[in-house]
Chain A
Amino acid sequence: MFQNQYETVFILTPVLSEAQIKEAVEKFKKTLTDNGAEVVHEEHWGLRKLAYTIQHKNTGYYQLFQYSADAKIVATLETDFKRDERVMRYLTTKLDKYSLDYSQRRSKGLIGKKNVEPAKADKAEATTEENA
């Protein structure tokens, strides 16, 4: 069966305790693995400030999963998100060859979360200076 790579980011409510978050994350991970998906990479961004309020909350726990799976699994996972009231937001994207390359480099830490901005910014700024 042809497998696609997907990336899902979701936001959990900040009212949960550490253990509850772990439990929720495990639950969704289990949903993925039970349905035959292989989790390639995961990231826990921790408590972050939201750019606008969602459900009267200003912060949220971000979690990222990158997995290769059959297309049906996305629907299963998203139904789970909808039924779970701990999840405030979710977004699933299919990875094409460029984003796949990017996320591979990202997961290896070549463009780590902290390095992404300066690296790109430096490039952009350098080019502006050249032109100036």
Chain B
Amino acid sequence: MSLVNDPVDRKDTARKKYCRFKKAGIKFVDYKDANFLLKFVNEQGKILPRRLTGNSLKFQRKVSVAIKRARHLALLPFVADGLK
């Protein structure tokens, strides 16, 4: 073991976040598509933050509105346990 500070290989962690809606060219987030919205909630059914999803603010807002609409129509749960 050397006493020199070896450079740490951080290739895996340095991945740039991106907004999947911008990248895929999706303009409208559908509240009727519960399976798709499932990507943006955690196991308890809470909306994931932008910090984790990488969405741009514009689409994070749209996603959150869509999730709330889906919840109202009982397509998504308000509270859940082990959703995934």
Flag if B73 contacts A120 (CB, 8 Å): no
Flag if B28 contacts A102 (CB, 8 Å): yes
Flag if A51 contacts B20 (CB, 8 Å): no
Residues of B in contact (CB 8 Å), total 28
Stretch at the interface among A16-24, A32-40, A69-77, A123-131: A123-131
Q: Report the tally of A-B residue pairs with Cβ distances under 8 A.
A: 65
Q: Is the interface of B mostly helix, strand, loop or mixed?
A: loop
A47 located at the interface, meaning its Cβ lies under 8 Å from any Cβ of chain B in the complex: no
Q: What separation, in Å, do the CA atoms of A131 and B23 have in the docked complex?
A: 11
B84 located at the interface, meaning its Cβ lies under 8 Å from any Cβ of chain A in the complex: no
Flag if B32 contacts A9 (CB, 8 Å): yes
Within 8 Å by CB of A131, from B18, B24, B33, B75, lies: B18
Flag if B74 contacts A54 (CB, 8 Å): yes
Cβ–Cβ < 8 Å partners of B18 in chain A: 127, 131
- Beyond A11-B73, A89-B73, is A121–B32 a contact (Cβ under 8 Å)? no
CB contacts under 8 Å to A, within B18-43, are 18, 20, 23-24, 26-28, 30-36, 39
The residues of B with any CB-CB pair to A shorter than 8 Å are 15-16, 18, 20, 23-24, 26-28, 30-36, 39, 69, 71-80
